[in-house]
Every structure is written in structure tokens, then in C-alpha cells.
Amino acid sequence: MSDEKAPRPAHGTVCWNELMTRDTSAAEKFYTELLGWKAVDSEMPDMKYTLLKAGDKDAAGMMAMPPDVPPAVPSHWMAYIAVDDVDALAGKIGKLGGQLMHGPQDIPNIGRFCVVQDPTGAVISLIQLAG
């Protein structure tokens, strides 16, 4: 998710963007040709995850839509907001009128995240980065 040497993002800031799609080949072709991004395999052991780079900097990530996602869910971009304690915030979501849609769950060597729907229906992820 972003360069290892980069400073840790501040709590409450958008720190990553990720594309989930059913056609990674078409998406890779589109974004590399449109934006000049370079697609690089992240070499994650349990899944194929592609880093999209602008020059030598990580710009975003891309992965195939998991098979358990209903067919009605379209390909989409997900933004991640850095937080200090994802579990504590996950416990507040319902009290604030939102819905916890997924997690919290660990991402090996990256951190811990959850997917949140706010009271208006908008969806975003919160992530507590490791380290």
C-alpha cells in the first residue's frame, strides 16, 4: 500500500485507493494507457494483487472481485482512510447511524481494516496500518 519509506499517514486522512474489478486485464490496459501507470505484481502469497505505479511511486492497487461478491456489485474504486484504532471505530459505526459491512480483518504485513457504510449509503474503508 504506499511506499515503505513514506511517513505514516495521519489519522483521518485518505491513504490508499484500490480498484476491485471482475476484469483485471481490461482495467490494467485502460489505466496504464490512459494515465501511464505501470502495473506491478505485488507478490502477495495468497492472492494476485497489482500495484499501479505513477513513476516509481505507488498510486493505487487492483485486485479481482472476490467470488462471493454478488454479481450485481459493479467494479468499483475503494478509498481507505488511515485510523489509529480500527476496532474502536468499528464499535462506533452503528451508534452513529452507519453500518459495518465487513471486518475488522487483518491484512498480513499491511494492517487491519473494515468496510463502513455511512448513514447516507456511501461506502469507505478504514485501515490501521501495521508498524
Q: Each residue of 79-101: pLDDT tens digit? A: 999 999 999 999 999 999 999 99
Residues of the chain with pLDDT under 50: 2-3
Tell me the CATH class for 83-131: alpha beta
What is the layout of strands, in order, in the sheet containing 49-54? 38-41, 49-54, 57-64, 14-21, 76-82, 123-129, 111-117, 99-107
Predicted local distance difference test score (pLDDT) of residue 2: 47
pLDDT at 3: 46
Q: What is the pLDDT of residue 108?
A: 87
Look up the pTM and report it.
0.87
Enumerate the CATH 3.10.180.10 domain ranges in the chain, comma separated: 8-77, 83-131
Task: Give the pLDDT confidence score for residue 81 in this predicted structure.
Answer: 98
Domain at 8-77: CATH code: 3.10.180.10
Which pLDDT score is estimated for 7? 81
